[in-house]
Structure 1
Amino acid sequence: MVEFKLPAFYTTPLTQIILVGITCFATVGMFSAVSNLGAGGTQDVALSDTSQGVLYGMFALTGLISGGINNLLGPRLTLFFGTLGYALYVGSLWCFQTQGTRWFLIFAGAVLGFTAALLWSAQGSIMMSYPLEKDKGKSFGIFWAIFQFGSFLGSVIALAINIRSGSLGSVSTSTYIAFIIIIFIGIASAFLVLPPNRVIRSDGTIVKLEAASKVHEEVVGMAHLLKDWRMIALLPMFFASNYFYAYQGAVNAGMFDGPTRALNATLEGAGAIIGALLIGFCVLDNTWFGRRTRGYLGLATVVVMTIIVWAVGLSWQVTFDRADAKAMFDAGTLINYKDDNYKGKGALYFFYFFSDACYQALAYWIMSALTNDPFTLARFAGLYKAVQSAGSAGSFGMDATATPYLNEHLASWILMLTSYPLAFLVIRTIKETNYEDEGVVYVDDVKKAAAEEGQHHDAPTGADEKTSIDKSES
């Protein structure tokens, strides 16, 4: 079948990353936005925690094979199937709000856990493999900023409602309809993403000649992945990467009133966007240093941020516990953003998510520095999300059993700190470039070979001329 020639700008890695960012903004971002509307908009914290626990448990199981599924189906179909669970989940929230169907919300959480693993494997493969080596930090920053803007937007909506009414009650039907419409736009946008064999980097190289792999290749690839000591060394970092969300959300819900919770969530979104852009552009892709040195600088940045931000959080955490939070709730004295004792709390939540974005950026950057192969990176992304989700499930389980805030804080902090020495060992193995070992294929060479064989339609489309660039600068 003859493929239509695409505009050159459309086949670039940057365009594809922006498209994936839009897909995640409209699906994952809206899911996060709804989560900011008070226990997922349900006002039932116990039910929300149960649904989240089921979601992340299923996510963890599916993540082990989601990379292989992406490689077999291709990123377009994988993204499409991955987005469907978000529509079902928000629909189940709406159904619970109007009909009180608790079982459907838990079922939707399980379905979303399965589909989300597919989406994030496809996203990880595209974000880590499509750009040039010198652009992988910037690619994360751009994607994360677009994706987190969805959560930021939902937080602003919640803040506006709270400030107007003084509280955030049940989410209206019109609000759910608006979220679902946006999610369906995100589902449709998945079909705009190109497979790796049609993406052409600025140096004229094709990301991958093949659009998809085969079943036996995925079985062998997964076996090799689980035997790679570098992946084993990164498991603690993966496990800790979302563990702290349950603690931060619990304190936000327990200590602050409605308007202030919404304000904190808005500051979280802003911190995530700014943190991702700064570390991506200014540290991980800094042109003044070699690639391994940039990895060390990224690790140092994350370590310093973790120590300072969480130490400040600890200094506040030791002044209260769950009993204090309950007493404040009963007395109607939860912290408001206008109160004197709110000073510094908003900044803490901003930097919690600023440092979180830096942490996520470093994890993705390390994986992307180990190889440029999109199929391998899809497996990396699947494993990353599987272990990350296992950590999330465990942390939500801790919170559901009313574990003391201080214990949750220390567990989150210690898990991060213990992961850094192992991450350092992996960074030590990073090469300045993988192009020489893995080889690259130029689109002009493919076109020439196709022309000689009389198979013009097999050549990737979208670029007319190869742009020359020194590989050492890539």
Structure 2
Amino acid sequence: MVLPISPALFLRADNAPSQLSFGTVGMFSAVSNLGAGGTQDVALSDTSQGVLYGLFALTGLVSGGINNILGPRLTMFLGTLGYALYVGALWCFQTQATRWFLILAGALLGVSAALLWSAQGSIMMSYPLEKDKGKSFSIFWAIFQFGSLIGSLIALGINIRSGGLTAVSTSTYIAFLVIIFIGIASAFLILPPNRVIRGDGTIVKLEAASHPREEIIGMGRLLKDWRMLALLPMFFASNYFYAYQGAVNALMFDGPTRALNGALEGAGAIIGALMIGFFVLDGKRFKRRTRGYLGLGIVAGMTVIVWAVGLSWQVTFTRADAKILLEQKALINYKHANYRGKGALYFFYFFNDACYQALAYWIMSALTNDPFTLARFAGLYKAVQSAGSAGSFGMDAVFTPFLNEHLASWCLMLVSYPLAYLVIRTIKETNYDTEKMVYVDDVKAEIAEKGDAPHAAEDNHSSIEKEKE
């Protein structure tokens, strides 16, 4: 059903997704960056994360369609609830040792997170103008990672006096939960696509929602698109390294230093996202496809350099060495001489990660401007990404040597770049010439001519839909 539109319903901006992600995903990321979800039980954390990402992958296959049917506001609200439950389960485990609840919370978070990220991805990729899509990702990722940065600083401030602390304190979880609940409330500020107009006066989408039959057909077409198939390795690799980096952080560093590393990760991600989005992917000096090539070259080069430096450290220790450090209460502290360079490595790990994620989203957003199609893209992206995460946490849960995890993460990223290049080759300078744009002023004029009654607006929509066909 096409919903009636009146001129008063159009709004120019919608920043709620970034605010929401700051308070929910950002806080979850902050807890994860503390290593083992803030606990010292890496095996349990890996199990819950494996379940989380396994269900995330399954739900991601249909989450784009769910978003298109329910609309972004309800979808994002449902998607935020799992984050509060999961952080609450971590707190419960810390105080009551309830292992089963943490695994259950991970499963429920996997389902809800798929909904959140599909809605967020659709908004981030379809609401801005084509020339601003890199900036759109940068702003979102910077705000989201700022949540991680603030969360890590909160944890660092609370735990800084206990240098021998191996797990995160109760007050840390309380601080996280307060911020998460504020983020959940902001979901009600989300606008549907038919109430948002871009800076050039075009309506993002005439319809507020889709239909189940359309989503089934749309998903079938998506799975037949060779470009999406070519991007699958990039999707799979995009979060694979988190298990390795989190395990090393948890087993090699003490509590305050893990929090410091989390803050450095957040800072690296913020700076990386802003730099590649504003100065590379949306740079004004080159055409769009050239900017894609440039972004791919920069990200590939950083991947080689940063992970080579990481390898030079990784070959100096094993899991057995980490266990000895814990038993001897000699975990690395930021005040120690052997911490030198480690913080910088974590900074650039996440600098590179932000650029990698930005490139993946930018490529998808350059293929179309349609929010319903981009919601399906985002769902597939998060599904395959989460499948990779589930595999990597499963790999870590069985105590795979750190060196093997490092090389697997690195090689997966390197393999994805040639295939991403093939997709970038198909990017056009603009999609406006093939995807008909509707201007809000034209809609208002037609409504004014026919009268402001709901049936007039609905007739107007029908006529515009016929023109599009």
| TM-score, structure 1 as length reference | 0.92
The equivalences for 1:31-430 within 5 A come to 31-168=28-165, 171-430=168-427
Counterpart residue identity of residue 329, structure 1: L
- Partners of 2:117 and 2:456 lie apart in 1 by 29
**1:195-220 Cα deviation digits (max 9, x unpaired):** 11111111110001001111111010
Q: Is the 8 A contact 1:28 1:86 kept in 2?
A: yes
Structure 1 residue 255: Cα displacement = 1.9
Across the aligned residues of Structure 1 and Structure 2, the Cα RMSD in angstroms comes to: 1.9
Q: Is the 8 A contact 2:7 2:444 kept in 1?
A: no
Structure 1 residue 174: Cα displacement = 4.2
Q: Is the 8 A contact 1:161 1:168 kept in 2?
A: no
Structure 1 residue 172: Cα displacement = 4.7
Structure 1 residue 39: Cα displacement = 2.7
Structure 1 residue 103: Cα displacement = 1.5
Unpaired stretches in structure 1, ≥5 consecutive residues: 461-474
- Partners of 2:253 and 2:201 lie apart in 1 by 53
Matched, 1:438 2:435: yes
Structure 1 residue 258: Cα displacement = 2.3
Moved more, 277-286 or 93-102: 93-102
- Partners of 2:172 and 2:402 lie apart in 1 by 32
Partner of 1:470: none
Any idea what SS the aligned residue of 1:436 has?
coil
Q: Identity rate of aligned residues, in percent? A: 79
- Partners of 2:314 and 2:170 lie apart in 1 by 37
| TM-score, structure 2 as length reference | 0.93
Structure 1 residue 43: Cα displacement = 3.6
Deviating runs (4+, > 4 A) in structure 1?
Answer: 1-8, 169-174, 456-460
- Partners of 2:145 and 2:87 lie apart in 1 by 18
CA shift in 2, pair 1:257/1:96, >3 Å? closer
Moved more, 259-268 or 220-229: 259-268
CA shift in 2, pair 1:337/1:181, >3 Å? closer
Moved more, 76-85 or 257-266: 257-266
Q: Is the 8 A contact 1:76 1:195 kept in 2?
A: yes
Counterpart residue identity of residue 433, structure 2: E
CA shift in 2, pair 1:41/1:410, >3 Å? closer
- Partners of 2:28 and 2:92 lie apart in 1 by 15
Length, aligned pairs only = 455
Structure 1 residue 182: Cα displacement = 1.9
CA shift in 2, pair 1:259/1:183, >3 Å? closer
Q: Is the 8 A contact 1:36 1:158 kept in 2?
A: no
- Partners of 1:66 and 1:197 lie apart in 2 by 20
- Partners of 1:399 and 1:459 lie apart in 2 by 60
- Partners of 2:104 and 2:332 lie apart in 1 by 35
- Partners of 2:453 and 2:173 lie apart in 1 by 48
Moved more, 404-413 or 169-178: 169-178
Structure 1 residue 4: Cα displacement = 8.5
**1:205-257 Cα deviation digits (max 9, x unpaired):** 00010011111110100000000000000000000000001111111122222
CA shift in 2, pair 1:38/1:94, >3 Å? same
- Partners of 1:180 and 1:158 lie apart in 2 by 13
Structure 1 residue 164: Cα displacement = 1.5
Structure 1 residue 6: Cα displacement = 6.1
Structure 1 residue 153: Cα displacement = 1.0
Q: Is the 8 A contact 1:133 1:433 kept in 2?
A: yes
Moved more, 184-193 or 132-141: 184-193
The equivalences for 1:11-30 within 5 A come to 11-12=11-12, 15-16=13-14, 18-30=15-27
CA shift in 2, pair 1:459/1:383, >3 Å? farther
Structure 1 residue 180: Cα displacement = 2.2
Counterpart residue identity of residue 383, structure 1: L
CA shift in 2, pair 1:90/1:258, >3 Å? closer
- Partners of 1:141 and 1:446 lie apart in 2 by 32
CA shift in 2, pair 1:171/1:246, >3 Å? closer
Q: Is the 8 A contact 2:37 2:45 kept in 1?
A: yes
Structure 1 residue 19: Cα displacement = 1.4
